[in-house]
Amino acid sequence: MSEWTSEAEEYLKGYLHQLGALARHQGDDAEEIVSELRAHITQEVEGDAGALVTVEHLRRTLAAVGTPEEIVAGETPVAGASLAGASASVLGEDTGGSGPVLQTPRRVVSPPDAASSASSGCRILAITLAFITVGLVVFVVGGLVWLGCFQYRQIQQASIIAHEKSAVKLLKDIANAQREFRQTKHDPDQDGITDYGDLMKLVEAGLLPDMYVNSTPMGYVYSCSVVLSSEKDGPAFRATAMPANPIPNGPRIYHIDQTGNIWVEPSTAVPPAAVEVEVVQPVSATDGVKQPSRSPSDADEAQYIP
């Protein structure tokens, strides 16, 4: 068994973390995929490195294995089975009967005295006050609960907007890093046209911090697919900011490509290919940002990027 440097262990940890997040979004068994791939990579790199595994040994092995985006490409999440239910009705019968009607003798009741009337009036007043008190308590408690729910929703919405704004900013940083990366004359297909790089290459070139591959900044996982200049529609790239834990009505998925356009789509269990995406902010070549066709209100602030 080979000894690993701390840098190599951290590099592999970040690689597998990103792979697991992408696999979970695709609906795959992330733990099984990560476990099997960890074992495969360990066997390959230790066989290549010998007694000591360094980052360079690991990068050579990962280059042969492929990027996390390439590994999960083409995977289709297994749709959950539909559940069918049945309903039943309960029938019942009413029974009735008749019998003799009994006549009861009338009894002469004497009118109540003054003391009895006063006692009865006090009881009625006490019951009325009790009902009023209970009603006020229910009203106050219900109002406080409603106010608390409203404030919680406002805080939750503000948090979602803050996370989405952070995701858009980091995607713009990726686009800027890609433009600088092409100036390094990166040309893996040797056709004389410089190409874009994936996130690993941008981090290795010092154009992005390693948090893009080793963590989930503001609850988002970042990935970047690349099309070489020798391929159709190349050179091109598409960077994606995907919520690490997607929930209904939660933070949405954002994309950016080499044109600077930013797309958004809802974060649901539906595969991205089945969701109609919306261009929410194309980026201008002059001022960097083209404003939306109308000014957003406070109610739909999350629909636009400031």
- Per residue in 190-239, pLDDT (tens digit) is 898 999 999 999 999 999 999 888 888 888 999 999 999 899 888 999 99
Total-model pTM: 0.44
Kindly indicate the confidence band of residue 30, based on its pLDDT and cuts at 50, 70 and 90.
confident
Nearest-5° Cα angle at 125, 122 to 126: 85
Residue 208 or residue 300, greater confidence: 208
In the predicted model, what is the mean pLDDT of residues 20-43? 87
> What is the percent of the chain with per-residue pLDDT over 90, rounded to a whole number?
30
Where on the phi/psi map is residue 219: left (φ > 0), alpha (ψ -120 to 50), or beta? left
Domains of the chain: 3-71 (no CATH), 152-303 (3.30.540)
β-pair partners for 253? 265
Helix (H) or strand (E) holding 225: strand 220-227
In the predicted model, what is the mean pLDDT of residues 250-267? 91
* Res 80 pLDDT > 60: no
Kindly indicate the confidence band of residue 115, based on its pLDDT and cuts at 50, 70 and 90.
low
Distances (CA, A) of 203 to 109, 181, 236: 99, 10, 18
